[in-house]
Structure 1
Amino acid sequence: MNRLIVIAGPTGVGKTEISLKLAERIGGEIVSCDSMQIYRGMDIGSAKATPEEQARVPHHLLDILSPLESFTVSEYKERAEAVISDIHRRGKVPIMVGGTGLYIDAVIRDYSFTEGGIDEIFRKDMEALAEEKGREAVHELLQQVDPEAAEKIHPNNLKRVIRALEVHRVTGKPFSSFKDQGHLNPKYSIRYVYLNRNREDLYQAIDRRVDLMMDAGLLQEVEGLKALGLDESYVSMKGIGYKELLRYLNGDLSLEEARDLIKMLSRNYAKRQLTWFRHAKDIVELNRDVMTEAEILDFLEKP
């Protein structure tokens, strides 16, 4: 059975170093499951693996898109499965690492996003509607036929909104219904864990990491992206750190207010991530306050 290790957890909990050491131990390769690290030029704010870290262990699904492009969960699933198959073919162990729970579930629970076929004419009609009346008008159509999907898909992610409408049109069933019942994908032998630690320590680590990102040039990174024409309407610029510094650059916040807001939103995001992983099926919590790093690595190394 093809082995697949998944190391999830909230931002700032220390997934990177654990995954690097595990990969070096077992001949693994890291598959990023982070919705921001897919974008080129968004390195500091997404806490992307550094060139030195990428030199230690092969990494996949980093820097695969321009921040001008949108990206769907189904596209992530397709690319991740191809990468995982290639890693298995070369006799290595894929290690999925990240905090985007929906990306993880799309692969390990084999969610289906492709059922329903294609209606090119309908797509063009929806694109024309968005051009004439705005993306919100298309999103409102989705709200009418599939409120669950509409709640999860942002109006600016026009490609995915149209795909959800297209699936409903072709199949007569809501896009949100095309997923499994939550069981693990039987084609993999999956070890699925999430890292956790004392909440106060986690929040302090997050605050320190934001300060380090600012010291490392996050503001300059956002200035460069803005110079490319990116603004808050792009999905890529809705990531924490990017949208707040855009508000600073647009004169809506002071730099200190933007920094404080990034810290607060990062802590809130970590809380939501922990809620997601606590409620996930077939997952094991590894608490860094209870287990040593060596014990965590030993647990993950065992087949």
Structure 2
Amino acid sequence: MTGGLPGPVACVCGPTASGKSAVADLVASSMGCPVVSVDAMQVYRSMDIGTAKTPVAERRAELLMVDVAGFDEPYSAALFQRDARRCVDRSLETAGCAVLCGGTGLYLDAVIDEMDFPSGDAASGPRARYEAVARERGPEALWTLLRDRDPESAAAVHPNNVRRVVRALELADQGESYAERTRHLRHRDPHYAARTWALVPERETLYARIDRRVDEMFAAGLVDEVRALDEAGIRRSATASQAIGYKEVLAALDGLCTLDEAREQVKRSTRRYAKRQLSWIRRDGRATVVPMGETTVEGAAALVTDDLRRSVEAGR
């Protein structure tokens, strides 16, 4: 316990391809605890290559909160909060500390902060209708529907974030505003004694890593992975089918572009996503920034481990 809160919890975040998975794995293995993944897409089974899950054989520490749901199962931030906190609490009980790792800001906040999520029936008629619009006419059409009804909420949600657009439309049906709801969520009260570390490479280095990672994904069989998921019905999921890497390859399988064009689009989409992740880190303002141009994965891991170990000792 630190300051009356359970902990300590070390959160390793950063843009995609920044090295955070390797750093968190080293920290957790040194501290004798698992890594709790905080990634909205890695929760889905069979989506391995495109979500950059660390292969089992390469993990030094146990990796939790991956492969916890099928792509066709509704899995919200509220469910993630419940399940991830159970993992964190067990780690605190058995190892005296916990390590979180990921780039989904909302999911990280949901775990370490006091956040109450609005209720919603995943099987409700309106939700099914809105998800059908996204599947049949595309995410942009669904977002346009929200913009016409609630421009302020539409401005707060990315058009490709189908789940949040659907939720905003559900709230509009109830006479409420998603933008107003989320304003209340921004007031942060900590749930854990957590410290966040943001790994930030230099931009040119980051973009080169992203390009290399995408090439490696295609070489490792991303197209075959997407083809198998397509045969299994991934298009029925408005969330999983829109994941970066998957939607672009699905477009190529439909003949809308070549695989080479899809590969380049994945690189562009990933770079844009990395920019959004960096923007979230800046807005959040709590992270200790680790410039990855000035240190190595091992150096960053040592920095986090030393701090976490001191916190564990101080709490004893």
What TM-score results when the alignment is normalised by the length of structure 1?
A: 0.84
Q: Alpha-carbon deviation of 1:235?
A: 1.1
CA distance change for structure 1 residues 168 and 243 in 2, over 3 Å: closer, same or farther? Answer: closer
Equivalent residues in 2 for 1:218-229, closer than 5 Å: 218-229=222-233
Whole-Å Cα distance in 2 between the matches of residues 265 and 228 of structure 1?
A: 25
SS for the counterpart of 1:152 is coil
Q: Is the 8 A contact 2:146 2:154 kept in 1?
A: no
Q: Alpha-carbon deviation of 1:32?
A: 0.8
Cα deviation digits, residues 79-118 of structure 1 (max 9, x gap): 212221222222342211111111112222322214xx67
Whole-Å Cα distance in 2 between the matches of residues 251 and 15 of structure 1?
A: 35
Whole-Å Cα distance in 2 between the matches of residues 58 and 113 of structure 1?
A: 29
1:230 counterpart = 2:242: no
**Aligned pair count?**
295
Query: Which residue is 1:76 aligned to?
Result: 80
| 5+ residue gaps, structure 1 | none
Whole-Å Cα distance in 1 between the matches of residues 121 and 232 of structure 2?
A: 33
Q: Alpha-carbon deviation of 1:260?
A: 1.1
CA distance change for structure 1 residues 155 and 100 in 2, over 3 Å: closer, same or farther? Answer: closer
Q: Is the 8 A contact 1:232 1:238 kept in 2?
A: no
Q: Is the 8 A contact 1:29 1:59 kept in 2?
A: yes
Query: Which residue is 2:35 aligned to?
Result: 30
CA distance change for structure 1 residues 210 and 155 in 2, over 3 Å: closer, same or farther? Answer: closer
CA distance change for structure 1 residues 241 and 51 in 2, over 3 Å: closer, same or farther? Answer: same
Query: Which residue is 1:46 aligned to?
Result: 51
Whole-Å Cα distance in 1 between the matches of residues 146 and 101 of structure 2?
A: 35
Q: Is the 8 A contact 2:142 2:165 kept in 1?
A: no
Q: Is the 8 A contact 1:6 1:96 kept in 2?
A: yes
Cα deviation digits, residues 35-65 of structure 1 (max 9, x gap): 11011111001000211134x2111110111
Corresponding residue to 2:245 among 212, 232, 241: 241
Q: Is the 8 A contact 2:14 2:278 kept in 1?
A: yes
Q: Alpha-carbon deviation of 1:248?
A: 0.9
Q: Is the 8 A contact 2:146 2:168 kept in 1?
A: no
Q: Alpha-carbon deviation of 1:155?
A: 8.5
| 5+ residue gaps, structure 2 | 2-6, 135-140, 312-316
Corresponding residue to 2:107 among 72, 78, 103: 103
Give the fraction of aligned pairs with identical amino acids, expressed as a percent. 33
Q: Is the 8 A contact 2:149 2:172 kept in 1?
A: no
Whole-Å Cα distance in 1 between the matches of residues 25 and 293 of structure 2?
A: 20
CA distance change for structure 1 residues 76 and 137 in 2, over 3 Å: closer, same or farther? Answer: same
Whole-Å Cα distance in 2 between the matches of residues 120 and 51 of structure 1?
A: 32
Query: Which residue is 1:251 aligned to?
Result: 255
Query: Which residue is 2:25 aligned to?
Result: 20
Over aligned residue pairs, what C-alpha RMSD do you find?
Answer: 3.2
SS for the counterpart of 1:214 is helix
Corresponding residue to 2:66 among 53, 57, 62: 62
1:7 counterpart = 2:9: no
* Larger deviation, residues 82-91 vs 205-214: 82-91
Query: Which residue is 2:212 aligned to?
Result: 208
Query: Which residue is 1:196 aligned to?
Result: 200
Q: Alpha-carbon deviation of 1:139?
A: 8.7
* Larger deviation, residues 12-21 vs 175-184: 175-184
SS for the counterpart of 2:8 is strand
* Larger deviation, residues 96-105 vs 179-188: 179-188
